[in-house]
Amino acid sequence: MDLILFELYGWLARIGYRAYFSGMGLAADCPNVMARNLAATIDRAYLETGQRVHLVGHSLGGIFARSAAVRMPDRIASVTTLGSPFRGLVAHPLVLKLANLVRRRIRSLYPNPPQGCATSRCSCAFARSLRRKWPRSVAQTAIYTREDGIVDWRYCRTGDPKVDVEVSGTHIGLICNSATYLCIAERLATVPRKRAASP
């Protein structure tokens, strides 16, 4: 939810970035609907700033950010994930119970959801994008903590030491962690945001 990222949003604005909330809504909706909402925000930021967009996503938000980068690489400069298990999900039992509640809610909201909706077997555009190759034009940073406590930190890394950054802290603490903020600032400063030249 955007609400829990207000500190990060304010900090990004203070260091000179034009920050946008994702606009995805509650994390208890259809992932494909949420992905479309994020795409609309990316389009707006791209058009308003005239530059490619940096995405910073915490937990599930990082998975949506990675999906957006695969689907819209021409509009995305970089993706920074914070404790996002994009390589698979091994999570605390309470998280898995919440996920099952969300799936039931989605099935009650939408009369004909895709087979396997809100699972890795879903056939929607969002789920398919997670299986696509990472675009070379989009820089990536994966910040994780071994003390996560919510998701298995090993699933929050790419395996590339130039991309993966370990910090100390908890899963929720990543969104207000000074080491996380320092890493974000350093990475954002090194990635060019100019639009790609027209062919």
Poorest-pLDDT segment among 13-27, 41-55, 182-196: 182-196
Q: What is the largest CA-CA distance in the chain?
A: 50
d(CA 77, CA 85): 21
d(CA 160, CA 170): 22
pLDDT in tens, 91-128: 556 666 766 666 666 666 666 766 666 666 677 788 78
d(CA 24, CA 163): 26
pLDDT of residue 21 exceeding 90, the answer is yes
Asked whether the beta carbons of 64 and 38 are under 8 A apart, the reply is yes
Asked whether the beta carbons of 113 and 107 are under 8 A apart, the reply is yes
* Whether pTM exceeds 0.95: no
At 110 the pLDDT is 66
Residue 85 CB contacts under 8 Å (≥ 6 apart), including other chains: 59, 63, 91, 151, 152, 155, 156
Q: What percent of the chain has pLDDT over 90?
A: 62
At 107 the pLDDT is 66
Q: Where are the domains of the chain?
A: 2-190
Tokens 């908890």, residue located: 170
Asked whether the beta carbons of 46 and 55 are under 8 A apart, the reply is no
Architecture of the domain whose range is 2-190: 3-Layer(aba) Sandwich (3.40)
Band (46; pLDDT cuts 50, 70, 90): very high
- Strand order in 76-82's β-sheet? 53-58, 76-82, 139-144, 164-166
Poorest-pLDDT segment among 18-22, 33-37, 93-97, 134-138: 93-97
At 3 the pLDDT is 86
Question: What number is the average pLDDT over the span 169-176?
Answer: 95
pLDDT in tens, 51-97: 999 999 999 899 999 999 999 999 999 999 999 999 876 555 666 67
